[in-house]
Structure 1
Amino acid sequence: PLRSAPLRRGGGSGLPSSPLLAAITMENLHNANSRFALDLFRRFNETNPTGNVFFSPVSVSAALAMVLLGARGNTEAEVLKTFHFDEVEDVHSRFQTLTMDINRSNAPYLLRLANRLFGEKSYSFLPDFLTNTQKLYGADLAAVDFLQACDEARKEINQWVEEKTEGKIPDLLSEGSVDNMT
């Protein structure tokens, strides 16, 4: 059965009522992310079986979970299934908890998870969607011109990623990878 988050549609606190329930639901998210990571690794391995692969499954999952906030019908069902989110109760508040835990300032490590939406400037996004992506994922919307200035949009995205990764990922999107259909 598909389970979706009450917060995804804007209602309820979505927070578990007990520490045990919280631990179980977080474990479900960790399991879903692990299963997705293995699925994605297998897919990468099919296309490049001898190459090295470096990716962050949690970052990919969080990005697509933000898309899930606005998805309905078949798209919603496919995202839930592909990322194994159909096995996670209240997936969005679980990601909120995970992001806060990863980004906590008193952690004995330096690890950051950063999210941002880059949307076509001529598109009107639903206010509830933008509010929920900010609240749950800490992601604001950067309006860019994919239609008329797609390479400038690509450069803006790359600059944001480079800043957030302290220069470790300078060119996430290669030249020609973004066009006016993005």
Structure 2
Amino acid sequence: MTPADPADARAFATATSAFGLDVWRALRARGETGNLAISPASLSTALAMTYGGARGETATAMQRTLHLATDPDATMPAAGALVRAWNAPRETYTLAVANRLFAEDSYAFRDAYLAATRDHFGAEAERLDFVSAAEASRAHINEWVSSQTRERIRELLPSGSIDPLTRLVLVNAVYFHGRWQHEFDRARTEDLPFFANGGEASVAVPTMHARGGRYGEDEGVQILELPYTGDELAMMIVLPRERDGLAAVEETLDATRVEQWAGRVTERHDVDVRLPRFRIETGSLALRTELEGLGMAIAFSDRADLSGMSADGAQALAISDVYHRVFVEVNEEGTEAAAATGVVVAVRSMPANPPPSFHADHPFLFFLRDTRSGAILFAGRVVDPR
């Protein structure tokens, strides 16, 4: 197995955040205005496995869209190094990243490609009969995703997503469960007003209360970072100063801005924190249109070149769609989050005194980050915690 250059692994972490927030903006342009969550880590990992088999103009387009600094052969070990770091066993929290290839039994794939995805991503190739048992194959893949996400993601691939033309499904599943370094006291949780959707009318939602945290301020926002036990991962919450200010904050949202916010926070023992409990469970998001708009259209077309994975020159491949689904729950003890991404490949057819208050009583953003690499594992928007 080719070892990863540490600089390439760091660059992939940076690319993960940049690409994930590109997808975020594309979903926002689609009209996704309610609660929303994505996993940049899951999306980038699944598409990095796909990029490993891309060649020519398709590889160039994917490299640009995914913000990658390296060619397919160098990206596989770089992404794999990050996956292995996330999967390292820990006593303080659970972070599991699982990958698998589901391949059409009758189709010939390059041994070198299958070996690379196995060695770098831990993605074993499982043969299925898409040609005559497409629906049973879809159910089997969904069962695998469910098992890898502790049953939080039950139906990644919707009905009709697998058909007799499907030749390969590349799946990534991410599961996280962590406890806050300083837990909220359930006895202090009370129903308080939340101005859902930034409006004038409020709804009563269970709101947690604590004192202390990593706090900072930037133009138009307050920032709170809550570390998990182990102090390797943290949730950063970005609260617009204005009740209806979320849209303006999202207009400028990119990876550089997130890093800027992260650099603003410092430990404060006097900040008064009020944060609603929330749970977000997205439907299965089909991302083909968004990825085409971000510059990957060739990968979905009859001009796609995925010859790095295919050993069958008679049946050229193209991506038919990319499906993504996320679950996030935040409560007094900590956070549980899960995400899955499936790529379906088919035959072409600083604070001031007095002590600051961080009262999240209106829509806000959150980012679950690996504070070592800066990679965003999960990102979300809460406009109504109910």
**TM-score category by the smaller chain?**
0.7 to 0.9
1:124 is paired with a residue whose SS is coil
Per the alignment, residue 60 of structure 1 pairs with: 43
Q: 1:107 to 1:69 in 2, by over 3 A?
A: farther
Q: Is the 8 A contact 1:65 1:92 kept in 2?
A: yes
Query: Which among 46, 54, 70 is matched to residue 71 of structure 1?
Result: 54
1:44 is paired with a residue whose SS is helix
Query: Which among 12, 19, 36 is matched to residue 36 of structure 1?
Result: 19
Q: Give unmatched runs, 5+ long, in structure 2.
A: 167-386
Distance 1:174 1:156 in 2: 12
> Displacement, 1:104?
0.7
Number of paired residues?
164
Per the alignment, residue 259 of structure 2 pairs with: none
- For residues 23-172 of structure 1, the aligned pairs below 5 Å read 24-85=7-68, 87-88=69-70, 90-106=74-90, 108-172=92-156
* Percent of residue pairs identical: 35
> Displacement, 1:51?
2.7
2:142 is paired with a residue whose SS is helix
Q: Is the 8 A contact 1:44 1:53 kept in 2?
A: no
Distance 1:149 1:123 in 2: 15
> Displacement, 1:66?
1.0
1:101 counterpart letter in structure 2: A
Distance 1:32 1:92 in 2: 14
Q: 1:33 to 1:27 in 2, by over 3 A?
A: same
Structure (1/2) with the larger strand percentage = 2
1:54 is paired with a residue whose SS is strand
Question: TM-score normalised to the size of structure 1?
Answer: 0.82
2:127 is paired with a residue whose SS is strand
Per the alignment, residue 347 of structure 2 pairs with: none
RMSD: 1.8
1:56 counterpart letter in structure 2: S
Distance 1:170 1:111 in 2: 19
Q: 1:33 to 1:107 in 2, by over 3 A?
A: farther
After TM superposition, where is structure 1 displaced by more than 6 Å over at least 4 residues in a row? none
> Displacement, 1:139?
0.2
1:115 is paired with a residue whose SS is strand
